[in-house]
Structure 1
Amino acid sequence: MRFRRPVAFTGALALSLSLAGSAQDDSAGSSSHTVTYWLWDANQLPAYEACARDFEKRNPGLDVRITQLGWDDYWTKLTASFIAGTEPDVFTDHIQKFGQFADLKVLEPLDDLPIEDSSYQPGLAANWVGQDGRRYGAPKDWDTVGLFYNRKMAKAAGISAEELNGLDWNPRDGGTFEKTIARLTVDRNGRRGDEPGFDKDDVKVYGLATNGGGDGDGQTQWSTFTASAGWTYTDEERWGKRYNYDSETFQSVVEWYFGLAEKGYMTPFTDWNSQSNQANTQVASGRAATAFDGAWMISTYAGFKGLDIGSAVTPAGPTGKRATMMNGLADSVTKGARNKAGAKKWVAHLASNACQRTVGGYGIVFPATPEGTEAAVAAYEKKGIDVSAFTRPVTDTREFTTFSYPITNYAADVLALMKPAMQDVFANDAPVGGLDETNSQINLILDQ
């Protein structure tokens, strides 16, 4: 999973004594014959076990020991391992964490690996180069965001797949996107959101599910709207020095977005739970007709029993383009790796076409290399799943724009400030103008 937020690294350091005491030494036994590797996605574990078997055949005498942990446990335990000196040789890295990991010098430079920008989907390799010009991650996979929808509900509302793939929006009246979401919303008396007498306080099916307030990045919430309105997180594409949450554009967009819940078209904050009732659960239960979610969730939505789920591209915004975050994970070697030579060989294999084609063949994620991506698309096709809503943004730059997580040194601090601020706007209808102060606090931290 990509959209859940990692625990604050700086806060964890402040609790270093207690964390160190609870750390388990999973790296014990790592030697010149063993490479320890951590990842968080259980769905991808079989694919990487297959890569490990191939790697071991190619490198006699080297064994890969894989540890898979749930998302929250993963980051908590990884942080603890850095403090206790029990870190793995290699781990799956997240771009939001990269800046602080690099700044704290817990990552090993990978400049000696054969990593070329042109070998991977656009932008994926460049994102893992630090401010010092050195590489700290080898591209692993990528994902974009699309609109999943219940085909039966769409048909009942008289909305076609072509219409869902041609939506537009604006922060004034919401455009055809808001009209469509309203049409898909049904109250307990059977009235739709665009019909007279609709009761916004007694909704049976919401047009749009929610993934909460979106913290400071809004990957599967508001980011597609803010980006297609021309807004950017920071003053620079990478390693920005100023955040822009005080922007009039940003604030007008999020005010409109959260206003969808106020109108009764989007699942309210009270119906959302970061652990047990996420957007996909709302769609699966019939509580919502559509949901913005990431490509890593394709198989999950396709697997809902008794439901026929389709996917559509994000709506076009005031800029005239459709926008989606394109997030890319990487594999990083730790500075304290006990088998650094073996670790780099393993990372080179993970980033190779050989491994990425293998991973793509499982049809779980889109690997970083074009060949790996093609293998994934073919695997999804065999399952009868159309993934063009997620792949088109990467190939069609005339209609789509893609963007990355903001890459800065203090992502954990931004999270700590923006999460309650955005929840306050969503849950308590707090004025969006209050984000001016939050933005000032964030920029003061970046000035350090």
Structure 2
Amino acid sequence: MRKARRLLLASAAALALAASGCAVGGGDTSGSGDNGAGGDSKSGKTVVTFRLWDDQVAKAYEKSFQQFEKKNTDIDVKVQLVPWNDYWNKLTADVAAGNASDIFWTNTSNFGIYADNANLLDVGSVLKAEKKNWKPSVVDLYTRDGKLWGVPQLWDSIGLYYNKKLLKQANVDPASLRWSPNGKGDTFLPAARKLTLDAAGKHPGQPGFDPDRIKQYGYNASLDAQGVYWNFVGSNGAVWQKGDRFATDNPKTRASIQYVVDLINKYHVAPSAADTNDNGDKTRDLFVQGKLAMFESGPYNLKTIEENADFDWGVAPLPEGPAGRVGVVHGVAAVASARTRHKDAATKVLSWLGSAQGQRAIAAGGYAFPGVTADEGAFVDYWKKQGVDITAFQKAASGKTFPAPVGPRVNAGATAMDPIMKEIFLGRTPVGKGLADAQRAGNEAIKE
């Protein structure tokens, strides 16, 4: 899997890592400039350092900054690539020591603590005119206490990848699916059952169906927050957070998670959590192997699916819930260190990063949806040339959305919740008790 672009991770604990949206992976740090804050180069140019974790998107930034430097000959932008596994620990240490890069990538799980501790420049005050050009949902994610702290760079929404042949054989229309926690008007579960087959060709609910010998699953229900269960929570009109505190212990959230868990343990239309809790790639791999018919995920998996699936596939909207089609939108932003020694030069780079010209290489290269709305068409066109219609992702981001958790210590809370959530999905802890325990553990952790 190309882990690089995913913005959030598959489990609740993975909030500490990000996607996804995008497991997120990095690459080698060599050849990308020295770590730490910028300075003055031997040529007399002002050096502005830019840190990120994504080795693929770094290539697009290199192209972008070449154009920037032609227009700003007195500034040299050094791209610093730090692997995902080291990124946040290194950033925390560098910020504390005053050695952070002038500009660096962040996600919603991590920026809050830096904003609250006055470690970031107030982007909204220095780039007022540019704000109108950015994806509103991502702007909202990085607005805290009335101030905008980041320039949107990439964003992910969620759609439903599907195997065209398998759905046609089962006479399932992926664009018309609807789920219901009480079963009334539910077309999603019946479709998932029709698309699930055991070794004898029987479907769940049929006499003789063997849940231990499933050869084809209908759907990827799993402990994937961004890709799966937050979308059910949102489309049921429920919440995961209130303010910076977790609020999972409520009737609608319980009903949403119960529905997802039942898809696994009661109806057997999704792989066992024993196989997916600690392997976020499992269901994606089953999909590209033709062993899973519907795969709910984001554009961060487009290239992997394109490169590995040998069947016709498409992307449909999310299943509709009681509150409509509501999915997670998450984004990566570029933020600037409040202790940069070159505020004017860093502001020029930030302005470039927030422009259509500055983000075009990201979009046109098919890496991700850009934070600048004017460039979205270039990303859509890239995939259109590959024969893939990705407008479902755009529509998901333009409609009602579900916010990814935020707060200065949201990672600590999510880490505390993770083992409880795993037990819920394994079916060993009742959903109601588990969500109450998870809420309590998460909120205790963010207080420490």
| TM-score computed with the length of structure 1 as normaliser | 0.86
1:203–1:422 Cα change, 3 Å: same
Deviation at 1:280, TM superposition (A): 1.7
Equivalent position of 2:421 in the other structure:
422
Kindly provide the CA deviation profile for residues 393-420 of structure 1, in whole angstroms up to 9, marking residues without a partner as x: 244x4xxx21221322321122122211
**Residue 120 (structure 1) shift:** 2.0
1:283 to 256, 279, 287: 287
Aligned residue number for residue 175 of structure 2: 165
Q: Distance in 1 between matches of 2:276 and 2:99?
A: 36
After superposition, where does 1:150-299 map in structure 2 within 5 Å?
Answer: 150-159=163-172, 163-173=173-183, 175-210=186-221, 212-214=222-224, 218-235=225-242, 240-262=243-265, 263-272=267-276, 274=278, 277-299=281-303
What's the secondary structure of 2:58's corresponding residue?
helix
- How far off is 1:146 after superposition? 0.7
2:56 to 17, 21, 43: 43
* Equivalent position amino acid for 1:232 in 2: V
Q: 2:313 aligns with which of 309, 312, 330?
A: 309
Residue 18 of structure 1 corresponds to: none
* Alignment partners' CA distance in 2, 1:330 and 1:417: 26
Listed one character per residue, the Cα deviations across residues 38-96 of structure 1 (whole Å, up to 9, x for unaligned) are 22222322221111111111110211211234433322332333344432221111012
For structure 2, list consecutive stretches of 5 or more residues without a partner in the other structure. Answer: 1-5, 19-32
Q: Partner residue of 2:21?
A: none
Structure 1 regions of 5+ residues with no counterpart? Answer: 10-23
AA partner of residue 418 (structure 1):
M
> Residue 288 of structure 2 aligns to which amino acid in structure 1?
A
The CA deviation at 1:28 is 6.7
Q: CA deviation at 1:170?
A: 0.8
Matched residue SS, 1:221: helix
What is the alpha-carbon distance in structure 2 between the residues aligned to residue 338 and residue 278 of structure 1? 45
Question: What do the CA deviations read for 1:4-61 (whole angstroms, capped 9, x no partner)?
Answer: 235489xxxxxxxxxxxxxx96127643621211222223222211111111111102
Q: Is the 8 A contact 1:271 1:277 kept in 2?
A: no
Distance in 1 (alpha carbons) for counterparts of 2:17 and 2:412: 7
TM-fit CA distance, 1:293? 0.7
Q: Which amino acid aligns with 2:345?
A: G
SS of the residue corresponding to residue 48 of structure 1 reads helix
8 Å contact from structure 2 (residues 137, 329) kept in 1: no
TM-fit CA distance, 1:250: 0.5
Change over 3 Å in CA distance of 1:256–1:368 after alignment to 2: same
**Partner amino acid for 1:354?**
Q
Cα deviation, residue 245, structure 1: 0.5
CA distance in 2 between counterparts of 1:203 and 1:30 reads 59
Who is 1:112 aligned against?
A: 126
Q: Does the aligned pair in 1 maintain the 2:164–2:313 contact within 8 Å? A: yes
The worse-fitting range, judged by mean Cα deviation, of 119-128 and 175-184 is 119-128
Are 2:140 and 1:126 aligned?
Answer: yes
Q: Compute the displacement of 1:446 (Å).
A: 5.9
- Residues 1:83 and 1:117: Cα distance change in structure 2 (over 3 Å): closer
Give the secondary structure class of the aligned counterpart of 1:3: coil
CA contact (8 A) 2:233 2:252 kept: yes
Aligned AA (1:382): K
Runs of 4+ in 1 over 6 A off after TM superposition: none
Paired residue secondary structure (1:123): helix
Cα contact 1:241–1:443 (8 A) shared by 2: no
The corresponding residue for 1:2 is 7
- Is the Cα–Cα contact under 8 Å of residues 115 and 125 in structure 1 kept in the other structure? no
Residue 447 of structure 1: CA displacement? 6.7
Aligned with 2:366 (options 350, 363, 367):
363
Q: Are 1:185 and 1:265, in contact at CA under 8 Å, matched by a contact in 2? A: yes
Cα 1:301/1:376, change in 2 over 3 Å:
same
Residue from 67, 71, 84 that aligns with 1:58: 71
Q: Does residue 26 of structure 1 match 2:35?
A: yes
Conservation of the 8 A alpha-carbon contact between 1:99 and 1:409: yes
Question: Helix, strand or coil: the match of 1:87?
Answer: coil
Shift in Å at residue 201 of structure 1?
Answer: 1.9
Distance in 2 separating the partners of 1:8 and 1:447: 20
Describe the superposition over 1:181-220 as per-residue Cα deviations: whole angstroms up to 9, x where unpaired.
111111112222353322112211211125x424xxx211
Q: Does the CA contact (< 8 Å) of 1:267 and 1:288 recur in 2?
A: no
SS in 1 for 2:137: coil
Aligned to 1:38, the other structure's residue is in SS state: strand
Per-residue CA deviation, residues 255-282 of structure 1 (Å, 9 max, x unaligned), is 1201111121111112226567343222
* Pairwise CA distance, 1:147: 0.9
Structure 2 CA distance for aligned equivalents of residues 74 and 150 of structure 1: 36
Q: 1:274 to 1:73 in 2, by over 3 A?
A: farther
Q: Which amino acid aligns with 2:354?
A: A
The 5-angstrom pairing of residues 355-434 of structure 1 reads 355-395=358-398, 397=399, 401-434=400-433
Q: Residue 62 and residue 442 in structure 1: after superposition, are their counterparts in 2 closer, same or farther (change >3 A)? A: same
Q: Deviations over 1:337-360 (max 9, x none)?
A: 343332221111011121123322
- Once structures 1 and 2 are overlaid, which stretch shifts more, 259-268 or 403-412? 403-412
Q: Aligned partners of 1:276 and 1:315: how far apart in 2?
A: 21
Letter in 2 for 1:153: L
Q: Could you say if the C-alpha distance between residues 80 and 150 of structure 1 is closer, same or farther in structure 2, counting changes exceeding 3 Å?
A: farther
Identity of aligned residues (%): 29
- Partner SS for 2:89: helix
- The answer to whether residue 437 in structure 2 is matched with residue 437 in structure 1 is yes
Shift of 1:383: 2.0
Matched letter for residue 223 of structure 2: G
Q: Distance in 2 between matches of 1:325 and 1:48?
A: 26
- Inter-CA distance 252–96: structure 2 relative to 1 (3 Å threshold): same
Q: Any idea what the Cα deviations from partners look like across 1:289-321, whole Å, max 9, x if unmatched?
A: 2211112222222222423221111111112x1
